[in-house]
Amino acid sequence: MTNQNPFNESDEAARARRLRNIAMAVALVAFVILVFVVTITRLGGHVADTAHL
């Protein structure tokens, strides 16, 4: 039988942990998007520069 609560924590603590995990996931996804957007923006500028060569 699977233990539903391996940390033996209260419902409140489990809920807080779940929300912390979601917040961490959101932060990581935001970081990936940020790096992607910055790369495209910086790269786009350089591509535009070479177009004049």
Partner 1 sequence: MLKTDIPELAPAGAAIAAPARWQDYVQLMKPRVMSLVVFTALTGLLAARAPVNPVLGFVAVLCIAIGAGASGALNMWYDADIDIRMRRTKNRPVPSGRVQASDALGLGVTLALFSVTIMILAINLLAAALLAFTIVFYAVVYTMWLKRSTPQNIVIGGLAGALPPVIGWAAATGTAPLNAWLLCAIIFLWTPPHFWALSLYTTGDYAKAGVPMMPVVRGAASTRRQILIYSLILVAAAVAPAFTGLGGLLYLAVAGLGGLVFVGLAVILARSHAGDVIEDQATGLYEVKTGVKSARNLFAYSIGYLFALFAALLIEALAHLPALTL
Residues in the site for partner 1, rule: CB under 8 A?
9-10, 12-13, 16-17, 19-20, 22-23, 31, 34-35, 37-38, 41-42, 45
Residue number with CB closer to partner 1 (19 or 47): 19
Residue number with CB closer to partner 1 (1 or 51): 51
Distances (CA, A) of 30 to 1, 3, 17, 35: 37, 33, 20, 9
State how far the Cα of 17 lies from the Cα of 11, in Å rounded to an integer.
Answer: 10
Least Å from the CB of residue 33 to partner 1: 11
